[in-house]
Homo-oligomer: A and B are copies of this chain.
Amino acid sequence: MTLKDTLLQIGQTARDASHAVARASTRAKNTALLAIASAIRAQRNELLAANAADLAAAKAEGLDAAMMDRLTLSEKGIEAMAQGLEQVAALPDPVGEITDLKRRPSGIQVGKMRVPLGVVGIIYEARPNVTADAAALCLKSGNAAILRGGKEAIRSNQAIAACVKQGLAAAGLPETAIQVIDTTDRAAVGYLITMPEFVDVIVPRGGKGLIERISKEARVPVIKHLDGNCHVYVDSAADPQKALAIVENAKTQRLGTCNTAESLLIARPIAASLLPRIAAMLTSRGIEIRGCDETRALVANAKPASEEDYATEYLAAIISCKVVADIDEAIAHINKYSSAHTEAIVTENYTTALRFLREVDSASVMVNASTRFADGFEYGLGAEIGISTDKFHARGPVGLEGLTSQKWIVLGNGEVRG
């Protein structure tokens, strides 16, 4: 069988299974999730052995330390996977939820019912824990899934896939509901993202290069974000203590996350008094500041910022900084340079806060809070399959609801249209 035929078969069996998963009871889906968790715990040794083989092969190929770290499944990581499945089981089932039922003048009641999207394709790098995580979210939201992890994790992923199959079987659900592609051939991704008849949405998780390529070539909707070039704007009416705490947390709590602040804007009237204090705090935390001329006049150790700096997601101990005239210049700067992920304003001024909320065109817009809150768990979604910086369908952190759609339902009593 050619690779293309293999992918078409996976697609067809996923589509077939999706109908069973869509109408599965909450109890059946939770039974499967808990059974997968049990299987993962019971087959800890098999998982560790498969992962050891992946690690040995990766070491031989000279993978860097960060990739080796993401590839590693520890005993603790295995337990975390099992607990993650249990947490998803504990979340409310979004499928079948009926909302907005309203009676119309014709007599009919019209509302919406939440339904699964169908078949979700997840493409990710060599992180075995994503296999269990993505399987859980797709299953709970009533979708079938086709998972394609990085080739370095193939043995670990297949060991996890075996646990998933057991769990599905234990709940009487088709084993083809969650399929983990077992070829390392890169061409498989090309087929997966161009089968709209079998795949309803693709969620790529990983580096920018992977996501750009998938977005460009996909013939299926993609839920994605490319960059997290997040801004904090300290307004002239900012509370200095809040500004210091929020900038510190947004920039320094974790350097490598997509909701980390990469750029600081500060209003001119408050810059002279506050920017030196913020800069001293950042410097004490090891952050390099790259600023405009006004920044450099106030902050001795600041380096000059280029146009490119303002457009850069550093994911490193660097922050760009610009003194702006006011909220207008701040909003214009953000809407020009931002990647539309997350932006925050620090202000005590009501009208300025509302303008920022309304006019900043990003997936998450915050007042007096750290950009680090842009996260499915912090937002109360219970879990997160990814983050979207697009406006179509899901936007921002995507949880179970983002893997569903709503159909219209009409409850009548024999009504006909006049």
Residues of chain A having any CB pair with chain B under 8 Å: 19, 22-23, 96, 102, 104, 106, 108, 110, 113, 115, 117-118, 200-201, 221, 239, 241-242, 245-246, 248-250, 253, 335, 344, 357-359, 361-370, 372-374, 378-380, 391-393, 395-397, 405-417
Say whether B23 contacts A415, CB under 8 Å: no
Say whether B380 contacts A102, CB under 8 Å: yes
Q: Among B102, B250, B406, point to the contact of A395 (Cβ < 8 A).
A: B406
In angstroms, Cα B241 to Cα A246, docked, is: 66
Taking the nearest CB of chain B, how far is it from the CB of A20, in angstroms?
A: 11
In angstroms, Cα B19 to Cα A366, docked, is: 20
Q: Among B104, B368, B395, point to the contact of A379 (Cβ < 8 A).
A: B104
Q: List 18 A-B contacts (CB under 8 A).
A: A104-B380, A106-B378, A108-B373, A110-B378, A245-B416, A253-B416, A344-B410, A364-B407, A365-B407, A368-B412, A368-B413, A368-B414, A369-B410, A369-B414, A369-B415, A373-B412, A393-B393, A396-B408
Say whether B110 contacts A414, CB under 8 Å: no
Sample of 17 further A-B pairs with CB below 8 A, known A221-B392, A246-B416:
A19-B361, A22-B361, A23-B358, A104-B379, A110-B373, A110-B380, A245-B414, A246-B414, A253-B416, A344-B410, A357-B409, A365-B407, A369-B416, A373-B412, A378-B417, A392-B392, A395-B405
In angstroms, Cα B200 to Cα A416, docked, is: 37
| Interface residues of A, dominant DSSP | mixed
In angstroms, Cα B409 to Cα A368, docked, is: 11
Say whether A415 contacts B110, CB under 8 Å: no
Taking the nearest CB of chain B, how far is it from the CB of A193, in angstroms?
A: 14
Say whether A118 contacts B408, CB under 8 Å: no
Say whether B407 contacts A395, CB under 8 Å: yes
Q: Among B242, B367, B369, B416, point to the contact of A249 (Cβ < 8 A).
A: B416
In angstroms, Cα B366 to Cα A409, docked, is: 6
